[in-house]
Amino acid sequence: MRPELSTVVVALLLSACPPAKVDPPPPPVVMEQPDAGGLARSVTGNLRFKGPERLNADFAAALELQPADVCKELGQYACVGVHNLAMGGVDPYGPGVYEPSPVTAVTTPLVVERLAWGACAQRVDKDLVAPSSAVVFRGLPMTGPRLTKPDGAEVVAIIGEMTRRGLLREPYENEVTRYVQLAKDLDGSGTAEPARAWMVSLCFAVLSSSESVFY
């Protein structure tokens, strides 16, 4: 092996193994103001519910979880399998349902929430256990189980991060205001772990929003 080549290989190997470091906090939020007066209403309103596989995949991607781990009933049955029909799925080999339901079922909102809570709780707990490798909920100053400053810039940054991951856009000002208010409400609610409760709730609110579950 020529010396120049070995130098290049060593350099490449080194560059592939950077020293451990704490991820920087989420970037600052560029808030927008919804222009309600100028919004055009959709005439066709042709919305589709995402369905079990797409919803599960989107939640997994947003939170960097394995799709198989997003939600399991009783720790062993995939929620998308158990609640497949309620989420508009097909099941040709069981009940012989070959086409997805054209409408959402009565229990659809509930099973979507189960999926969201399951995924969000996992993400938050992983991030809290290993802050140095936190994916979503990073850089949040906490005093014990509470957020140090429920309306601080770091809280706003997390709202931005979650909105970008869940909805692929920046949050609007009213959204930031409302989710900051949620942090304050939880802080004063007597909940044992208000910081964790806020993180899970924020994640849940974004992922189970209409904008997240329809396309």
Question: What is the number of alpha carbons within 13 Å of residue 64 lying toward its C-beta?
Answer: 12
Residues between 113 and 132 with contacts to other proteins, criterion CB under 8 A = 113-114, 117-118, 121-122, 124-125
**Which residue, chain included where needed, has tokens 């939640």?**
59
Q: Please provide the size of the chain in residues.
A: 215
Reduced to 3 states (helix: H, G, I; strand: E, B; else coil), residue 151 is coil
Cα 128 to its chain centre, rounded Å, is 15
C-alpha angle 143-145-149 in degrees, rounded to nearest 5: 45
151 binds other proteins (CB under 8 A): no
Smallest distance, Å, CB 113 to other proteins? 3
DSSP annotation of 50 = -
96 binds other proteins (CB under 8 A): yes
Nearer to other proteins, 120 or 140 (CB): 120
Residues between 32 and 61 with contacts to other proteins, criterion CB under 8 A = 34, 36, 39-43, 45-49
Reduced to 3 states (helix: H, G, I; strand: E, B; else coil), residue 100 is coil
Q: Which residues would be at the binding site for other proteins (CB under 8 A)?
A: 34, 36, 39-43, 45-49, 71, 73-75, 77, 81-86, 91, 93-97, 101, 103-111, 113-114, 117-118, 121-122, 124-125, 172, 174-175, 178-179, 181-182, 185-186, 189, 191, 197, 200-201, 204-206, 208-211, 214
